[in-house]
Structure 1
Amino acid sequence: MVNTKNINLVGIGLGNPNLLTKAAISALERSTVIIGAKRMVDSVKEDFPNKKYFTEYNTEKIIEIIRENMDSETAVVFSGDISLFSGSLKLFDKLKYLVEEKDFKDCNINTYPGISSLSYLCAKSNTDISKVKILSFHGKEELLYHNIDSNEFTFIITSKGEGVKEICRKLIDFGLFDLDIILGENLSYENERITKAKASKLIEMEISDLNCMLISNPDADKSISIGLPDEVFARDKVPITKSEVRAVIMSKLDICQNSICYDIGAGSGSISIEMSRLAYEGKVYAIEKNPLAVELIKKNIHNFSAENIELIHAKAPDGLDNILDADKIFIGGSGGELINMMEMIFTSKKNPTIVISAITMETIAQITDIVKLAKEKGYDTEITAVNVSKSKEVGPYNMMIAQNMVFIAVIKM
């Protein structure tokens, strides 16, 4: 008979052994070897004595420990639930490719969910978990404003106590200072504390490093419109791509939530702002050479809390260091370098969607050459002329006042 070995990936919950599931307890009782990070190992040692314990969290090292103990049933313990920001996901992927190896032949990989800090805090606060957006600032960066502004509840796993305060400072800067925050500290332990407060109060508190937070925004708005009114932007004397033309440009770019975007010749930043709202899990690079325009872009970034815009004060093609990573590119001003920029962009293996606007005959002539070159490289192309007129009251009458005709070229695979 084949001697089948079990590798058990166990979510131990928040750390209180009383919250272990019966299935997890059974798996730990059967296992001779238990591996995990120090806090997880310490939380089960007392209730499961006479085991061979290893304190380790590195995936490759855990695999080596399992390999060296293949004659024993093994459990790897993880905090919370193994499906929520858990190292077990990476370990499972590694192990499933090893089961055909001689050492791992006939091994079963078993998974045991635990109670997550998310489900625990939602239960304690009577919050519908189906309405919650989940973020983690533990060892990574997330875009905060859009997620909180567009979700009724946002759950955040933070990085230490200072991480909570940093998020609260950002909320105040964003003007979201009046939102209710439920802070959970040391959940399930004897020193558990759950606090409901505004950001300003939490900043003044001593906060445990073992924490998570749930932010409530009853006025959340999930809609994202394009073609924002011109009046919402700081403009001064810098030209702005008008609202109706901007809407056409954004529709042609077809930006996804995780797109990497470039706005070259960003002007006052209206296109950059529109990009950032659509690519709310992506990145926008705004390239502008005019010092006055750069200051306006800074104001608009602040006014719209556009965390995912990186402003680069340069004349293209300078400042295009990451252009080959972009999948959406808008060129509204080229400074006479349009051909050079396009030659650089055409070397990208990402086959980006490129939209170019033009109002001068000289730029239109260059676009004609670029379109011809793009077709030779296998791109689809189109050129659209947009002519917008808007009404203006003149005495008792309304007259239609024409804006500049704008030519919009689209180049995409």
Structure 2
Amino acid sequence: MVDAPWLTIVGLGEDGPDGLAPASRKALDEAQVVMGAARHLSLLPELDADTIAWPVPFSDGIPVLLSHRGTPTVVLASGDPFWHGAGATLARQLTPGEYITLPAPSTMSLAAAALGWPLEQTPTMGLHAAPFARLRPHLHHGQRALVTLRDGPSVADFAAWLVQQGFGPTTLHVLEALGGPRQRIRSSPAQSFDLSDIRHPVSVGLDIAGDGPALPLATGRPDDLFDHDGQITKRPVRALTLSTLAPKPGEHLWDIGGGSGSISIEWLWAHPTTQATTIESNPTRAERIRANAADLGADRLSVVTGTAPEALSDLPDPDAIFIGGGLSDEMLQTVWAAMPDGARLVANAVTLEAEALLSLWHTDKGGDLMRIELAHAHPLGRKRGWKSAYPIVQWSVEK
């Protein structure tokens, strides 16, 4: 049983010990063990403590750290350890009374100060260990953003990605080794990026410009954002469906019959903590869903290739379920049994048989049964007329 903090997580800037607060210096002076990346350890003067370079991958260092439980120990982290840093990972292994954290200014604080940008109005994202596409929902002309990147060469790759997305005129403000004697700030358009010898650690400020497609904020985004073979919940119906599904922070969606993945991807766009699993029986479509999710910054989407209801076993409990195809009584029976109390079910039917099935379940379980009829204007000779789409019956219910 550990009765007092034995671990101090110290945020270290590029100026090394010169920028440390007195409490951080005291923790280092009193530590018997100091762990950190080789780069962090190299910034420190010679210490009386045993120094241990944190191994790669990061997870390999956790058992090493915990083997010193009860011994005064310091772990070095970059800037604020709880901004895309080691802090959250370490905290999951410890009780609150075992550690204290002494942060330094985060990379984003230093970057905002260097560029004169209001941090509360600027999206920030850690892309040093995440796909560039995570930024995709934030790309639109006139937006600013701050991101961290893995290393110097990755900045050129990032610039090339921006060009591919249609945002070549974006200005990249490359911020190198902020807060230390090696600090340097240079700027270049993405479409003619030619900076070299970029020093680690690196972050980038973006003045986004270009005519690439911006993602609307409302649900029911344009169909052509998603690669599909025609199996897609069309934009107006998708907007109504997502409104009925009503995603909330932290909730998990089962999307049965994923098609293009549009419902799941828009669910994930609703909030950074939402989760989704889509089940798709067609392997080609399942791969297309994965590609759509990766390209549109929703790579956390879990795709299961299989047929419901068999493929529903061993999935995380859902907060909401959408059935977009393959409706059967067996599926509804399995889904209803798997739903915890309070979970929401939304099912769309196009065929008369599926419509009759939903009518029976609505009679038995209650909820709301809605018929959606849409028509679009089409040429009719030299004039125009309405061309109706197949009506859709939507059943929604909370268990």
Relative to the length of structure 1, the TM-score reads: 0.72
Instruction: Pick one of 51, 55, 73 that aligns with 1:54.
Output: 51
Provide the secondary structure at the position in 2 that maps to 1:308: coil
Counterpart AA for 1:285: T
Tell me, what secondary structure is at the counterpart of 1:324?
coil
Residue 119 of structure 1 corresponds to 109
Structure 2 match to 1:132 = 122
The Cα shift of 1:409 comes to 0.8
Residues 184, 211 of structure 1: 8 Å contact kept: yes
Q: How does 1:334-413 map to 2 (within 5 A)?
A: 334=326, 338-348=328-338, 352-371=343-362, 375=365, 381-389=367-375, 402-413=388-399
Alpha-carbon contact 2:175-2:185 (below 8 Å) kept: yes
Q: Please, which moves more after superposition, 153-162 or 343-352?
A: 343-352
**What is the RMSD of the two structures over their aligned residues, measured on CA atoms?**
4.4
Q: Residue type matched to 1:79 in 2? A: S
Residue-by-residue CA offset, 1:305-361 (whole Å, 9 max, x unaligned) = 424276979773399468833544332321xx5234334433536665332112322
CA shift, 1:126, in A, is 1.8
Q: Is the 8 A contact 2:140 2:208 kept in 1?
A: yes
Alpha-carbon separation, structure 2, partners of 1:311 and 1:364? 29
Structure 2 stretches of 5 or more lacking a match?
Answer: 55-60
Cα distance in 2 between the residues matched to 1:222 and 1:389: 25
Contact 1:168 1:203 (8 Å CA) reproduced: no
What is the distance in 1 between the residues matched to 2:227 and 2:297?
A: 17
The 1:317/1:25 distance shift into structure 2, 3 A limit, reads same
Higher-Rg structure is: 1
CA contact (8 A) 2:13 2:179 kept: no
Counterpart AA for 2:86? G
Report the Cα offset of residue 401 of structure 1: 5.6
After TM superposition, give the deviation of residue 408 of structure 1 in Å: 0.4
Q: Which position in structure 1 is the counterpart of 2:57?
A: none
Q: Gapped runs of 5+ residues in structure 1?
A: 100-108
Kindly indicate whether the alpha-carbon contact (under 8 Å) linking 1:261 and 1:283 is maintained by their aligned counterparts in 2: yes
- More deviation, 270-279/355-364: 270-279
1:106 paired residue number: none
Alignment partner, residue 42 of structure 1: 42
2:322 aligns with one of 327, 330, 333: 330
Partner of residue 287 from structure 1, selected from 280, 286, 311:
280
Residue 338 of structure 2 aligns with an amino acid whose one-letter code is S
- The worse-fitting range, judged by mean Cα deviation, of 146-155 and 361-370 is 146-155
Aligned match of 1:77: 76
| Cα distance in 2 for residues equivalent to 1:397 and 1:174 | 39
Deviation readout 1:355-380 (Å, 9 max, x if unpaired): 2112322111222344467x3xxxx6
User: Which SS does the other structure have where 1:67 is aligned?
Assistant: coil
Aligned residues: 383
Question: What amino acid is aligned across from residue 115 of structure 2 in structure 1?
Answer: S
Aligned pairs (5 A) from 1:192-203 = 192-202=183-193
Rounded to whole Å, the distance in 1 between the matches of 2:177 and 2:76 is 18
Q: Secondary structure, in 3 states, of the residue corresponding to 2:70?
A: helix
Q: Which amino acid aligns with 1:332?
A: G
Partner Cα distance (2:9, 2:97) in 1: 15
Q: Equivalent residue for 1:252?
A: 244
Alignment of 1:130-209 (within 5 A): 130-140=120-130, 143-149=134-140, 152-202=143-193, 205-209=196-200
Matched position secondary structure for 2:123: strand
Q: Is the CA contact (8 Å cut-off) linking 1:283 and 1:308 kept in structure 2?
A: no
Question: Using the alignment, how far apart are the partners of 2:310 and 2:162 within structure 1?
Answer: 31
* TM-score scaled by length of structure 2: 0.74
